[in-house]
Amino acid sequence: MEAVIKREFMLAGLCCANCAAKIEREAGKISGVSRAALDFAGQRLTVELAAPPAADVAAQVRDIVRRHEPDIVVTEAAAGDRQPSGPAPEDENGAARRVAARLGAGGAVFAAGLALPLFVSVPPVWRLGIFLLSFLLVGGDVVLRAAKGIIGGRVFDEHFLMSIASVGAFAIGEYPEGVAVMLFYQIGEIFQARAVGSSRRSITALMAHRPDSANLQTGGGWRVAAPEEVEVGDVILVRPGEKVPLDGVVVSGSSALDVSALTGESLPRDVEEGSEALSGSVNRNGLITLRVTKPFSESTITKILDLVQNAGSKKAPVENFITKFARWYTPAVVGAAALLAVLPPLFFGAPPADWLRRALVFLVVSCPCALVISVPLSFFGGIGGASRHGILFKGGNYLDALAAAEIVAFDKTGTLTRGVFKVTDIRGSEGWPAEKILAYAARAESFSTHPIAVSIRAAYGQTPGGEAVSAYEETAGQGVRASLDGQTVLAGSAKLLAAEGIACPPVSAPGTVVYLAVDGVCAGYIVIADELREDSAETVRALKAAGIKPVVMLTGDSRAAGEDAARRLGVDRVLAELLPGQKVEEMERLSGELSPRGKTVFVGDGLNDAPVLARSDIGVAMGGAGTDAAIEAADVVLMTDKPSKLVDAIRIARQTVRIARQNIVFALGVKAVILVLGALGLASMWAAVFGDVGVTFIAVLNAMRALRS
């Protein structure tokens, strides 16, 4: 399988969402490009190539962008880039002041043109001159852009539509309406740009958590270095108030770390010598030194920011629908406007000026910006808002799917329980005292990293001794086989012993039962109990209140342990003693219980549950802070060990989808009403401007609510 080559381009100054959709579509048609995704909120175009391209992709991207938006600055994003390059803030403010001054002057001339006839008699040519001057001040730049667009083959952009509508109004003698269209369009554009800019700043503020430097230990002391320069094994110093730049282990000092940027939790995390410190957290008080354990490209904060940054490239179905809808909506409405202007006067002898006015209303309303801006912005805002709460969605498609969740299945160990096991009971057959059972089990489990094995060794309390373990073999979900002192030892579930034809007495205990067999004979068993997380029961109740049914537990533990936990949590259904492959089969059976739009959700701890995480419609990994496997395997990552974060994730997903749908219904509804009223001659150009710019502005403001989820 050939590796996918990914290249990213920053589009500084991108402000037209309709143009953005066209740029994305045309970039996807470049030879060698398998996929193109443009994140309007982040001003980032990502193209994926299955093989090295025959032509210069960057040059073709710049050419496409230039045809649609000549003023955009296109730069290819180097590794580590997070922000689009563009004009400095003072340049933008200066440009905004010049536009405001021009609009103010044009508006004053427009007001004078309306007021003068009330006091003096104004000749028609003077009246035309006054409004024409006002029109040039207010909309001259729009007409110029429209002309450039026509030369470049862009007929249906908003500049062309507004220019035709304004010029048409002048052609039928409605000078004030011609100026009003441009004036209110420009004012609306200013407010719309401010709203979109505010949303972008709120989203990209997440990128401020990216560390910019590290205090690296050298032979001569300490020096400031870029995080990318630091290698695994290097020692770095983190002073109070500084961000931890890379993941590492504390080698000296102690402090409290603010991890809210990673987990959304305000409670600081205390660290001392030997503790793990995650990049992106803030050192609140003490001076600490760390030994780096991961390069910057693989650090926790880098992965989180990459997920948030690239989430916009995985679009929700409704986003893709709006993009396709916009391609047909504008030409259809423009065609209807042409027919409306021509057919009634031609066949019914109706007054041409009146029907031309109605057609101009159609032109103004035909721009789809309200939809192509607000819907993607809603999903990006939902993703950004969720990330501030320690919930990472890998794309809008997963957020949309989670909103339709009907069945939630949990892994037990480490998800609904703490995953911290303690030996609670040891029983041996005749001639096998408890101490001997524990010693054999601890030695057999000496190479395993499973939490149960760790708990057995902890209960043994000493490093397993005796002859070295040989012929060690671990079977996922069942246990281990090892050779100790010339004896064959099995330590694991009843299934492991049954597969070898070893009979063992059935044990019903509230915990996990680990059987021990030596040379084909059952020697006894160890009972290990796990503690439920504080908010697990409340999570199950909240999910049921949100309409999730059934809530299921899939566990590899014994039936007794699974049923005991399910009873205490209020889980609807528990399936125990499952191997990883059997969990996948059970998820497939659960899928058969869904409604047509319903989705299945599986929540696990990342690594052991990777197959079932991949099989479910939405895989949710819990406790992702510092867990690489969780971030890689799942569609959604909860950065804390609280299962209640899943309830927050579902709430955010549903609210985001609800906001996107509100914008669709509102925008299409208002436009449809104005189109009908315009065709009947009951809607003015002023109403048409509101149907375009006003609706877009309101929809963008509504989309910004998703950021505050």
Q: Which residues are catalytic?
A: 411
> Which positions ≥6 away from 80 have C-beta within 8 Å?
228
Q: How far is CA 673 from CA 361, 660, 666, in A?
A: 12, 20, 11
Q: Work out the burial of residue 121: count CB atoms within 10 Å of its CB; fewer than 13 is exposed, 13-18 middle, 19 or more buried.
A: exposed
Helices of type H across 469-526: 494-499
Contacts with 246 (C-beta within 8 Å, 6 or more apart), sequence order = 211, 214, 227, 230, 236, 279, 290, 292, 294, 295, 296, 299
Q: Compute the distance between CA of residue 568 and CA of residue 553 in angstroms, rounded to an integer.
A: 12
Which residue matches tokens 């409670």? 267
Residue 473: CB atoms within 10 A of its CB come to: 11
Strand partners, 638: 391, 622
User: Are the beta carbons of 445 and 480 closer than 8 angstroms?
Assistant: yes
Q: Which spans in 55-174 are helix H?
A: 57-68, 89-115, 124-151, 158-171
> Could you tell me if 135 and 176 are in contact, meaning their C-beta atoms sit under 8 angstroms apart?
no
What are the residues facing 490 on neighbouring strands? 481, 517
* Number of CB atoms found within 10 A of residue 548's CB: 19
Give the burial string for 654-676 (b: 16+ CB within 10 Å, else e).
bbbbebbebbbebbbebbeebbe
Q: Are 251 and 235 in contact (CB under 8 A)?
A: yes
Locus of tokens 């609009």: 103
